[in-house]
Chain A
Amino acid sequence: MSKESYYVPDDLKKFGNIGEFQPNLAKKFFDYYGEVFTEGALTAREKSLIALGVSHAIQCPYCIDAYTTDTLEKGVTEAGLMEAVHVAAAIRGGASLVHSVQLMNKVKELGM
């Protein structure tokens, strides 16, 4: 396997460095990010599971890596981790399928 790839696992640790080129916006983002994940109406564990699901929906390998570790650390079972991914997949699949109503509307509009 080639060692070269657009995705480098070590780059996850360098996420904080995005402030190098635009410190103000990076700071605002990380403050916001930190605030989002603090315990609130949802527990930190619930938020981490949502993040795991979303990371699969948006297919970000860095987030998948980070939130698989984080949910494991928070004591979620393997089955729980996988269910979060199925929730993401169901919403993704459902979101495509529900647009087929538009397709059907158009078919009916164009048809005799």
Chain B
Amino acid sequence: MKSLKSRGSELVSPERQFQILKEVFIRKNLPSFSEKLIQSGLSALTPAPTKILQMNLGKLCNQTCKHCHVDAGPDRKESMSRETMLHCLSVLAASPISIVDITGGAPEMNPDFRWLVVELRKLDKKVMVRCNLTILLAGDRYKDLPEFFAKNQLEIVSSLPYFEKRRTDSQRGEGVFDRSIEALKRLNAIGYGIPDSGLTLNLVYNPAGAFLPAGQAALEHEFKKSLLKEYGIRFNYLFTITNMPISRYLEYLQESGNLESYLEKLVNFYNPSAVLGVMCKNTLSIGYDGSIYDCDFNQMLEMNVEGGVQNIRDYDADVLEARKIRINEHCYGCTAGAGSSCGGVTT
């Protein structure tokens, strides 16, 4: 599978994506996200002080998962420069932001990834890396990554859509499950996910299909039981994340004929108490070119933050905290059911 971009798909355009969502909302007479907020007594989404800086190091990835909201893949070239990283580092050095969440694509494929991690650790920030697991088996350049992660006390967050081959491979590509299991074994072998090791390994579940995730605690129990029994694998926590109706997952919804019913479901399961925990409240998302976004999803929809500060080199906490978060119909993906954020459920 190739990225939408290299296939020249119309879904590369955020405007087209919004239009597709809007057409369904009109046809099905569904309330817009902003109407729904008002109906439930909430008005605009406003940010709290920023706690997490999420840095997207680029769109290059060794995988091409069907649901990828980044539209990442081996054919993407966008990559964060060291100069942009330096801007992030100088903001972080002078800021109470305590957590840095490094993502991609496969962030490890950025040539300055290791340098960045070492610099962040010098600033004593907690660093999380969104590691897709198979990158650990992608050649000599990456094979000592587990040791590098451990030495720098990185918290690893890894997608494993399911504890079975069939459903994982259908979403992430043939053979991904077996390689993910092998990578998890390597991480366990150096202490990741093992109680009291101080090395945290969290997994992310997102449904392989047009349905919502259910009960995080019950699913974590199933994952733990099954991965331990079948493969002897341990991990710390499972985060359940709802698939957002944008980018490649939007394409899947269209092609499988599930678009209308999925959007209706997101709207019907809107949960006002999930709104308070959405990631845009305490996170800023930085694009590979330094642009600032409310969240990773807005980043992929090219919705820059509102207001005068648009790039990390002009960072101003007061201006950013006074802004309104930009919303659109995709925000239903964060507020359905138990809610969904990059750290799992929000309620």
Chain A contact residues, CB within 8 Å of chain B: 43-45, 69-70, 72-75, 77-78
Contacts and interface: CB of A to CB of B under 8 A. Distances in A.
A75 B162 CA distance: 8
Contacts of A78: 166-167
A78 B207 CA distance: 13
Contacts of B166: 78
Contacts of B167: 77-78
Interface string B210-234: 0111110011001100000000000
Contact of A73 (B211, B222, B223): B211
Interface of B: 164, 166-167, 205, 207, 209, 211-215, 218-219, 222-223
B213 A77 contact: no
A73 B214 contact: yes
Most chain A CB within a 10 A radius of its CB, from B205, B207, B211: B211
A69 B218 contact: no
Nearest to B337: A73
Most chain B CB within a 10 A radius of its CB, from A44, A73, A75, A78: A75
A15 B218 CA distance: 28
Contacts of B164: 77
Contacts of A43: 218
A73 B212 contact: yes
B222 A75 contact: yes
Contacts of A75: 205, 214, 218-219, 222-223
A69 B218 CA distance: 16
Contacts of B223: 75
Q: Which 8 A-B pairs have the closest CB atoms?
A: A73-B214, A75-B219, A74-B214, A73-B211, A75-B222, A72-B211, A73-B212, A69-B211
B218 A45 contact: yes
B218 A44 contact: yes
B241 to A, nearest CB: 13
Nearest to B222: A75
Contacts of A74: 214-215, 218-219
Given A75-B222, A78-B166, A44 B209 contact: no
A102 to B, nearest CB: 43
Most chain A CB within a 10 A radius of its CB, from B164, B218, B223: B218
A44 B215 contact: yes
Contacts of A44: 215, 218
A45 B207 CA distance: 16
A108 B335 CA distance: 66
Nearest to B220: A75
Nearest to B219: A75
A41 to B, nearest CB: 15
A75 B160 CA distance: 13
11 contacts: A44-B215, A44-B218, A45-B218, A73-B207, A73-B211, A73-B214, A74-B215, A75-B214, A75-B218, A75-B223, A78-B167
A100 to B, nearest CB: 39
A70 B218 CA distance: 14
A56 B213 CA distance: 24
A110 B95 CA distance: 94
Contacts of A77: 164, 167
A62 to B, nearest CB: 14
B213 A73 contact: yes
A73 B209 CA distance: 10
A45 B216 CA distance: 12
A81 B149 CA distance: 39
A9 to B, nearest CB: 9
